Amino acid sequence: MQDSSLIKITRPDGRTSNATLRPLAAEVSCLSRSDGSCKFSSGSTTILAAVFGPAAPRAVSRARNNEATVAVVFKYGSKISSSTTDSSKSYHPGYGTNERELERFIGDALQGCIDTRSYPRTVIEVVIQVMSADGSVLSSAINAAVLALMDAGVRMNRIPIGTTCLVKCFDTNADILFDPSAEEESNDEYAAIVLATSDNDDIGNGGNSSVRVISSLTFGQFQLESFLACMEGSGRASKAIMAFMRVVQEQKVVRESKTLWSSYNTVP
Rounded to an integer, what distance in angstroms lies between the CA atom of residue 42 and that of residue 47? 9
What per-residue confidence (pLDDT) applies to 206? 45
pTM, rounded to two decimals = 0.86
Query: Whose CA is closest to 26, among 197, 220, 193, 247?
Result: 247
What per-residue confidence (pLDDT) applies to 267? 46
pLDDT in tens, the chain (268 residues): 445 445 566 888 889 899 999 999 999 999 999 999 999 999 999 999 999 989 988 877 778 889 999 999 998 755 555 444 444 344 455 566 788 889 999 999 999 899 999 999 999 999 999 999 999 999 999 999 999 999 999 999 999 999 999 998 888 777 899 999 999 998 888 999 999 988 755 444 444 456 788 989 998 888 889 999 999 999 889 999 999 999 999 999 888 887 765 555 544 5
Residue 185, Ramachandran bin (φ over 0: left; ψ between -120 and 50: alpha; else beta): alpha
What per-residue confidence (pLDDT) applies to 169? 87
What per-residue confidence (pLDDT) applies to 61? 75
Rounded to an integer, what distance in angstroms lies between the CA atom of residue 211 and that of residue 233? 10
What per-residue confidence (pLDDT) applies to 76? 77
Rounded to an integer, what distance in angstroms lies between the CA atom of residue 199 and that of residue 87? 39
Q: Which domains does the chain have, with CATH numbers?
A: 15-83+91-252 (3.30.230.70)
Residue 91, Ramachandran bin (φ over 0: left; ψ between -120 and 50: alpha; else beta): beta
What per-residue confidence (pLDDT) applies to 80? 56
Element (H, E) at 216: strand 211-219
Q: Which string of DSSP letters, residue by residue, matches 71-95?
A: EEEEE--TTSEE--S-TTS---TTT
Cα distances from 144 to residues 28, 76, 100, 108, 183, in angstroms, run 9, 15, 18, 15, 22
Residue 86 sits at the vertex; the CA angle it makes with 83 and 92, to the nearest 5 degrees, is 60
Element (H, E) at 200: none
Look at the alpha carbons of 124, 105, 92, 159 in this order and tell me if their dihedral is positive or negative: positive
Rounded to an integer, what distance in angstroms lies between the CA atom of residue 171 and that of residue 230? 13
What per-residue confidence (pLDDT) applies to 260? 61
Query: Whose CA is closest to 143, among 99, 182, 92, 194?
Result: 194
- CB distance 47 to 39 below 8 Å: yes
Look at the alpha carbons of 260, 261, 265, 268 in this order and tell me if their dihedral is positive or negative: positive
What per-residue confidence (pLDDT) applies to 186? 87
Count of alpha carbons within 13 Å of 178, Cβ hemisphere only?
23
54: preceding bond cis by omega (within 30 degrees): yes
